[in-house]
Amino acid sequence: MPVDTALTDHGTAALLGVRIADFSRVLAGPYATMLLADLGADVVKVERPGTGDDTRAWRPPADASGTSTYFLGVNRNKRSVTLDLATDEGRGRARELIAGSDVVVENFRPGTMEKLGLGHEELRAADPRLVYCSVTGFGTGAGAGLPGYDLLVQAVGGLMSVTGEPEPHGEPTKTGVALVDVITGLHATVGILAALRHRERTGEGQLVEVSLLGSLLSAMANQASGYVAAGVVPGRLGNAHPSIAPYETFHTADRPIALAVGNDRQFAALAALLGVPELADDPRFRTNPDRVAHRGELRALLQDRLRTRGADHWAGALPAAGVPAGPVNALDEAFAYAERLGVEAVVDAGGTRQVAHPIRLATTPARYRLAPPELGEHTAEVFPDDEGAST
């Protein structure tokens, strides 16, 4: 089966020679396979004829050509083929694609791929070296039939319970991006790379399973550990931190800034800069546990001082004094900020502006070979002997 001809110009790619048959849609799976494609894997994206990935229709926003920016954001460096998996022909072509692949990624509801004859056990019997990654919402047990939508998982998985303003005025709030999908995609990427390394050593493939719920509970980190290890059920604190103070947003004369004071030395520097050095020796605020216990009193004192000047002033003066602080930027400001700091944030992928791959590798860097594909753009290239492969 033909390989991606664009691969020939990046011989230093870390995943050169790895082919991924990608049956995933929307965000978690496609995000994982894009990261792997950036690192050199040849990803063949299998889509439904006529409509393709659901996110192709998720607009606005759209780029100048009318293409959904949601789809564009997680599908670069991939080749798109259309296969109707409801037909014998489509399933046969899928098996042909998988036979020439190292990895399969899918995020159908549990049992769907098995019904199509494309489940892990059947494919592993044909190719014991195959790495098979299954992304689900709630695992393969009692929750197998539940739909895995990010908002739903944020709600039932506890994230919304700690996000938003405190009672009685606030209510549980989702994050401003589908964070659970993104975290799950990262976990899928790690699992696939670990399985490929295992195969390199032993010659054996394996099943990689990640779920949105399991990924979220792991990513709850200190909050989850506080419950599991100490029985503490956290609540909402707005932008404050349960274990550190001051570690939240404050109003200034014009717009909010964030203070992230992580130790007593930083707090002393903050107090000195604000003209109240005595706060560092105040028994209520001398140590971090003291400050957490008297969070409300501390916030009121700091707020009065910070309102005297604008955010730009504090964003310059506080870091210069060794106090971690910065303005609450809008997204355009965030990209401009990254540019000023020399952090590569925007790249060109086949003529399409894209968010840069976040990992910097000195010898095998990410490459941006292909723009996000048109629906079925590469069907004839991948299946050159069958013009009807998409039917």
* DSSP result, 316-367: HHHHHTT--EEE---HHHHHHHHHHTT---EEEETTEEEEPPS---SSS---
DSSP E strand boundaries for 91-180: 103-106, 131-136
Q: Which residues contact 113 (CB under 8 A, 6 or more apart)?
A: 23, 106, 119, 120, 134
Radius of gyration of the chain from Cα atoms? 25
Q: What angle do CA 11, 75, 370 make, to 5 degrees?
A: 40
4, 181, 254, 385: which one is catalytic? 181
> Which one, of 137, 140, 160, lies nearest residue 149 by Cα?
137
Continuous H helices in 100-209? 112-115, 120-126, 150-156, 179-202
CB 217 within 8 A of CB 158: yes
Q: Is the Cβ–Cβ distance between 143 and 135 less than 8 Å? A: no
Is residue 386 part of the annotated active site? The answer reads no
Q: Which among 69, 26, 76 has a CA at the least distance from the CA of 51?
A: 26
How far is Cα 39 from Cα 300, in angstroms, rounded to an integer?
Answer: 49
Sign of CA dihedral 373, 71, 19, 49: negative
Residues noted as catalytic: 181
